[in-house]
C-alpha cells in the first residue's frame, strides 16, 4: 500500500503523523544512551572500512599522478591502474621503511637518553630555580620538593594506574589491528576504484534522475577537490614546519632535535590546538635540560607559527578554503568530541564543505522560495561603493566557480571515458566467453555424433 500525497489534505492524517513522530522522538530521547551506544557499536564494526577508505583516499592522488603521466601511453586502462597503484604502494612502503631505519633509532636514543638523565636534569633545573629565587627574593621550597619527588611520583603513578595503562595498551593493539585491516581493504579499494565509482554513479543516476544526478556529481566533485587539496597541503605544511624547526634547533645547538622536530611536525597537522601542543611538549623537554633553550624555542615557535598562519598556509591552500575562524573552532570542538584526533585534523575541510553547501545550495533555494533575487542589494544608496565591491567579489567568485566547474567537467569526462573502456572490455570478455561456449557446444555435438555413428 503506497502513501498518497492527497491524504495530507485530511486533518486527521496530519494529526496522526504528528503523534507518531512525537512518540518516536519521545522513545528515542528516553533511551538516548542506548541509541548512542548502538550507533557506537555500528561505527566500531565499520571502522576498518572507514579506515580503508581514508587510506585509499590519501594514496589515490599519487596513484592518479603515475597513472596519467608515467603510464599514460599504455592502451589498457586496467594495466595503467594496476601499475600505478603498485608503484604508489611500493614508494610509500620504501618511504616508511626509510623513515623507520633513520628516524626510529634516533627517537629511541633521544627518549632513552632523556629518561636516563632525568634526575640530572631535575637537579640542574632545581639549581637554576634556586639562583633565580635568590635574585628575586622568592622561596622555592615547594618547587624543589616537587622536583625532588618527580621521578618517584612518575613511578608511583605508573604503579597506581597499571590497569588503565594495560587497557590503553589493549586499545592500541586493537587500533593497530584495525589499521592493518583497513590497509588491506585500501589496496582492494585502490585497484577497484573505477568499478566502485561506476557502481555508485549508476545507483545515483537510477535514484535521482538527470538534473539532480548532475548536481550531486558537481557537489561530490567539489568536496573531493577540497579534501584532496587540504590533505596534500596539510601534510606538506607539517613536513616544512618540522624541517625548519629541526634546522633552527641544530643552528642553536639544542638537544633532542629529532624528537622535538617530529613532535612539532606531527602536531602541526591538527589545526589551531596542534601547534600549541607541540610547543608545550618541546618546551617541557628543553626546560629540564636548559631553561634558556626552552624560552628561545617558545619565541621561535611563536614566530614560526605566525609565518605559517599568515604566509605559508595561504600560499599552499590559496583562499579556496577561506572559512570563518568561529566555524573552524566549532568544527574542531565537535570533530574532536565525536571522532577524536581525526575529527580535529579534518575539521577545516568539513567546515569548508558545510560553508559552500550553505552558500551555494541551501541559501539560494531558500531565497528562491521566498522570492528574493540572487544578489539583491540590501544596502542604502549612500553605500553604493560598498555594494559595487560586493558585486565585484561575487562576480570573481562566480568566475572561480566556473573554472572549477570546467575542471570538474574535464575530470568527469575522463572518468566516463574510463568507464566506457571498462564496459567495452566487459562486453568483449562476454563475447569471448559466449564464443568459447559455442565452440565447446559444437565440440560436444560433434563428439555425440561420432559416438552415435560408432
Handedness of CA 399, 404, 407, 412 (dihedral sign): negative
What would the mean pLDDT of 443-448 be, rounded to a whole number? 76
DSSP string, 241-301: HHHHHHHHHHHHT-S-HHHHHHHHHHHTTSTTHHHHHHHHHHHHHHHHH-HHHHHHHHHHH
**Structural contact between residues 129 and 144, judged by C-beta atoms closer than 8 angstroms:** yes
For residue range 16-74, what is the model confidence (pLDDT) as tens digits? 778 888 888 888 777 777 777 777 777 778 888 888 888 888 888 888 888 888 888 88
**Structural contact between residues 264 and 301, judged by C-beta atoms closer than 8 angstroms:** yes
C-alpha cell at 419: 568507464
**Structural contact between residues 58 and 231, judged by C-beta atoms closer than 8 angstroms:** yes
pLDDT band at 147 (very low <50, low <70, confident <90, very high): low
Residues 6+ positions from 290 with CB-CB distance below 8 Å: 124, 254
Q: What is the pLDDT of residue 248?
A: 92
What would the mean pLDDT of 142-162 be, rounded to a whole number? 63
67: left (phi over 0), alpha (psi -120 to 50) or beta: alpha
State yes or no: pLDDT of 318 exceeds 60.
Answer: no
Query: CA-to-CA distance for 162 and 168, rounded, in angstroms?
Result: 10
Query: CA-to-CA distance for 271 and 352, rounded, in angstroms?
Result: 14
What would the mean pLDDT of 299-315 be, rounded to a whole number? 80
What would the mean pLDDT of 340-366 be, rounded to a whole number? 78
Residues 6+ positions from 188 with CB-CB distance below 8 Å: 52
Our measurement of the distance from residue 416's CA atom to the centroid of its chain's CA atoms, rounded to an integer in Å, reads 27
Greater pLDDT, 47 or 159: 47
Percentage of the chain lying above the pLDDT 70 cut: 76
pLDDT band at 339 (very low <50, low <70, confident <90, very high): low
Q: What is the CB neighbour count within 10 angstroms for residue 251?
A: 8
State yes or no: pLDDT of 374 exceeds 60.
Answer: no
Q: What is the pLDDT of residue 381?
A: 43
State yes or no: pLDDT of 211 exceeds 70.
Answer: yes
DSSP string, 352-383: HHHHHHIIIIIHHHHHHHHTPPTT---S-GGG
Task: Indicate the burial class of 255 (C-beta count within 10 angstroms; 0-12, 13-18, 19 or more).
Answer: middle
For residue range 89-142, what is the model confidence (pLDDT) as tens digits? 999 888 888 877 776 776 677 677 766 766 676 677 666 666 666 666 565 565
What would the mean pLDDT of 308-318 be, rounded to a whole number? 69
Q: What is the pLDDT of residue 136?
A: 61
Greater pLDDT, 360 or 372: 360
Q: What is the pLDDT of residue 378?
A: 47
Q: What is the pLDDT of residue 388?
A: 62
C-alpha cell at 83: 601499475
Query: CA-to-CA distance for 216 and 224, rounded, in angstroms?
Result: 12
Query: CA-to-CA distance for 58 and 60, rounded, in angstroms?
Result: 6
What would the mean pLDDT of 384-404 be, rounded to a whole number? 68
**Structural contact between residues 354 and 377, judged by C-beta atoms closer than 8 angstroms:** no
Q: What is the pLDDT of residue 7?
A: 64
State yes or no: pLDDT of 386 exceeds 50.
Answer: yes
How would you label 92-124 residue by residue, b for 16+ Cβ within 10 Å and e otherwise?
eeeeeeeeeeeeeeeeeebeeebeeeeeebbee
Query: CA-to-CA distance for 79 and 67, rounded, in angstroms?
Result: 9
Give how far Cα 414 sits from Cα of 74, 196, 338, 407, Å.
15, 16, 37, 11
For residue range 220-278, what is the model confidence (pLDDT) as tens digits? 888 888 887 787 788 888 888 889 998 998 998 888 888 788 888 888 887 767 788 88
Our measurement of the distance from residue 441's CA atom to the centroid of its chain's CA atoms, rounded to an integer in Å, reads 54
**Structural contact between residues 422 and 77, judged by C-beta atoms closer than 8 angstroms:** yes
Greater pLDDT, 347 or 193: 193
Alpha helix stretches (DSSP H) within 137-256? 141-148, 150-160, 162-191, 193-208, 210-252
**Structural contact between residues 123 and 144, judged by C-beta atoms closer than 8 angstroms:** no
Greater pLDDT, 162 or 360: 360
Q: What is the pLDDT of residue 247?
A: 92
Greater pLDDT, 133 or 218: 218
Amino acid at each position: 500500500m503506497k502513501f498518497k500525497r492527497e491524504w495530507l489534505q485530511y486533518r486527521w492524517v496530519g494529526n496522526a503523523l504528528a503523534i507518531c513522530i512525537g512518540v518516536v522522538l519521545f522513545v528515542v530521547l528516553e533511551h538516548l544512551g542506548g541509541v548512542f551506544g548502538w550507533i557506537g557499536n555500528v561505527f566500531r564494526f565499520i571502522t576498518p572500512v572507514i579506515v580503508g577508505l581514508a587510506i585509499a583516499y590519501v594514496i589515490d592522488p599519487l596513484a592518479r599522478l603515475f597513472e596519467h603521466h608515467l603510464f599514460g601511453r599504455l592502451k589498457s586502462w586496467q594495466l595503467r591502474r594496476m601499475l600505478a597503484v603498485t608503484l604508489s604502494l611500493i614508494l610509500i612502503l620504501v618511504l616508511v621503511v626509510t623513515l623507520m631505519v633513520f628516524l626510529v633509532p634516533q627517537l629511541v636514543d633521544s627518549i632513552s637518553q632523556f629518561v636516563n638523565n632525568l634526575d640530572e636534569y631535575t637537579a640542574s633545573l632545581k639549581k637554576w630555580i634556586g639562583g633565580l629565587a635568590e635574585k628575586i627574593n622568592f622561596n622555592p621550597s615547594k618547587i624543589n620538593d616537587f622536583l625532588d619527588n618527580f621521578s618517584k611520583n612518575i613511578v608511583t603513578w605508573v604503579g597506581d594506574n597499571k590497569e588503565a595503562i594495560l587497557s590503553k595498551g589493549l586499545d592500541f593493539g586493537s587500533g593497530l589491528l584495525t589499521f592493518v585491516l583497513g590497509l588491506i581493504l585500501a589496496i582492494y579499494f585502490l585497484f577497484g576504484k573505477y568499478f566502485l565509482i561506476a557502481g555508485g554513479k549508476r545507483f545515483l543516476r537510477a535514484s535521482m534522475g538527470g538534473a539532480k544526478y548532475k548536481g550531486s556529481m558537481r557537489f561530490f566533485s567539489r568536496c573531493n577537490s577540497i579534501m584532496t587539496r587540504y590533505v596534500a597541503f596539510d601534510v606538506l605544511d607539517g613536513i616544512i614546519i618540522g624541517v625548519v624547526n629541526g634546522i633552527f634547533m641544530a643552528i642553536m645547538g639544542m638537544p633532542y632535535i629529532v624528537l622535538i622536530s617530529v613532535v612539532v611536525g606531527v602536531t602541526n597537522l591538527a589545526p589551531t590546538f596542534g601547534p600549541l601542543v607541540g610547543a608545550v611538549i618541546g618546551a617541557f623537554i628543553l626546560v629540564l635540560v636548559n631553561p634558556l633553550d626552552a624560552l628561545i624555542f617558545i619565541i621561535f615557535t611563536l614566530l614560526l607559527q605566525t609565518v605559517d598562519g599568515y604566509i605559508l598556509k595561504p600560499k599552499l591552500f590559496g583562499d579556496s578554503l577561506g572559512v570563518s575562524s568561529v566555524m573552524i573552532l566549532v568544527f574542531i570542538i565537535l570533530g574532536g568530541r565525536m571522532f577524536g584526533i581525526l575529527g580535529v585534523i579534518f575539521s577545516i575541510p568539513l567546515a569548508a564543505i558545510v560553508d559552500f553547501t550553505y552558500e551555494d545550495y541551501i541559501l539560494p533555494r531558500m531565497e528562491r522560495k521566498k522570492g528574493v533575487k540572487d544578489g539583491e542589494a540590501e544596502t542604502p544608496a549612500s553605500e553604493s561603493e560598498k555594494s559595487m565591491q560586493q558585486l565585484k567579489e561575487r562576480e570573481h567568485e562566480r568566475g572561480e566557480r566556473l573554472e572549477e566547474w570546467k575542471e570538474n567537467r574535464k575530470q568527469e569526462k575522463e572518468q566516463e571515458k574510463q568507464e566506457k573502456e571498462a564496459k567495452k572490455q566487459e562486453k568483449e570478455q562476454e563475447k569471448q566467453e559466449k564464443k568459447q561456449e559455442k565452440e565447446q557446444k559444437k565440440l560436444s555435438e560433434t563428439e555425440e555424433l561420432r559416438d552415435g555413428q560408432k
